[in-house]
Amino acid sequence: MPESHRCHRRRCGPSSTRVAGQASLRHRELMQLRVFDDSEALASGAATLWLDRLVARPDLVIAAPAGRTPRPTYRHLQDEAQRRGLSFARTRVFAVDELVAPAPADGYFWRHVREAFLAWAGIPASNLHPFDPRAADLDAMCRDYEEQIEAAGGLDLVLLGLGPNGHLASNEPGSPFDSRTRSVRLLPETVAYIRTDDDADPRVSDTAVTLGLGTLTEAREVVVLVSGSSKRDILRRTLTGPVTPDCPASLLQTLPGARVLADRAAAGAL
């Protein structure tokens, strides 16, 4: 499918940017924006990127997202993996975030990942690392999760969606850029957004556990998928606005090699 490929540095102006209260950073020119004609081309492009990384490293360590934007990517991933004869048997899978009680005990978001990806991927249970939303001590569980990631050798690839208010994973506006995996309180607008998903479960919690922004920045590659005209304003703010915790996704401007894959409806004139 046709696509256009543009590096975001063309819209950045100077190659340095300033994080509020921090020294100037000079990685902004390294972030890439790829614009696809439509949501299906975006999903196909994301699946191809994932599979290329799998070929390079069969024991890929990935944090796999739930949500409406990644859903078509999993469909293309299955079709393309079958066409190319690729196996996920050595892949290690971590979660991006998860809702806690009263959300389903087996994982509100993990259920989506399981249905869209794990159900057909043939990954051994020993290679799956969901959050435990039933843990009596969420803080201890989150510390252990960081240790599991470290034991796996770190995250090779993190796939994320872009929240309407600029959140990444469940890191809401105001989240510290150096935050680690932890429990968080979701803003009312985020809870309302989750409930607009066609596959939403009525048991939505306003408390979640999430990979921290600091955790995400340590991944070898971060890829954010953005689809639809409703994301146009927040995508522009993410890519061209100030780097500030008020827009957590603006942190992408400081990450070497970060990739934003967007359809034309979301990218607009970027």
Contact 160, 222 (CB under 8 A): yes
- 137: domain CATH number is 3.40.50.1360
Token representation of residue 133: 């939303």
Q: What is the number of domains present in the chain?
A: 1
Note whether residue 92 is domain-resident. yes
Note whether residue 14 is domain-resident. no
Q: What is the DSSP string of 95-138?
A: ESEEE-TTS-TT-HHHHHHIIIIIHHH---GGGEE---TT-S-H
Note whether residue 3 is domain-resident. no
Note whether residue 2 is domain-resident. no
The residue segments making up the domain with residue 59 are 29-267
Q: Residue 60: what pLDDT?
A: 98
Task: Examine the pLDDT at 239 and tell me if it is beyond 80.
Answer: yes
Q: Largest Cα–Cα distance in the chain? A: 50
Q: Residue 256: what pLDDT?
A: 86
Note whether residue 8 is domain-resident. no
- Annotated catalytic sites, by residue? 97, 165, 167, 172
Q: pTM of this prediction? A: 0.88
Name the pLDDT band for 23 (thresholds 50, 70, 90).
very low
Task: Examine the pLDDT at 118 and tell me if it is beyond 70.
Answer: yes
Lowest mean pLDDT among 23-37, 145-159, 255-269: 23-37
Note whether residue 6 is domain-resident. no
Distance of alpha carbon 235 from alpha carbon 241, whole angstroms:
9
- Average pLDDT of 252-269? 94
Contact 141, 169 (CB under 8 A): no
Q: Residue 10: what pLDDT?
A: 33
Distance of alpha carbon 41 from alpha carbon 50, whole angstroms:
14
Mind listing the pLDDT tens digit for each residue in 173-231?
999 999 999 999 999 999 998 888 767 677 888 999 999 999 999 999 999 999 999 99
Distance of alpha carbon 240 from alpha carbon 224, whole angstroms:
15
Note whether residue 64 is domain-resident. yes
Q: Residue 199: what pLDDT?
A: 72
Note whether residue 24 is domain-resident. no
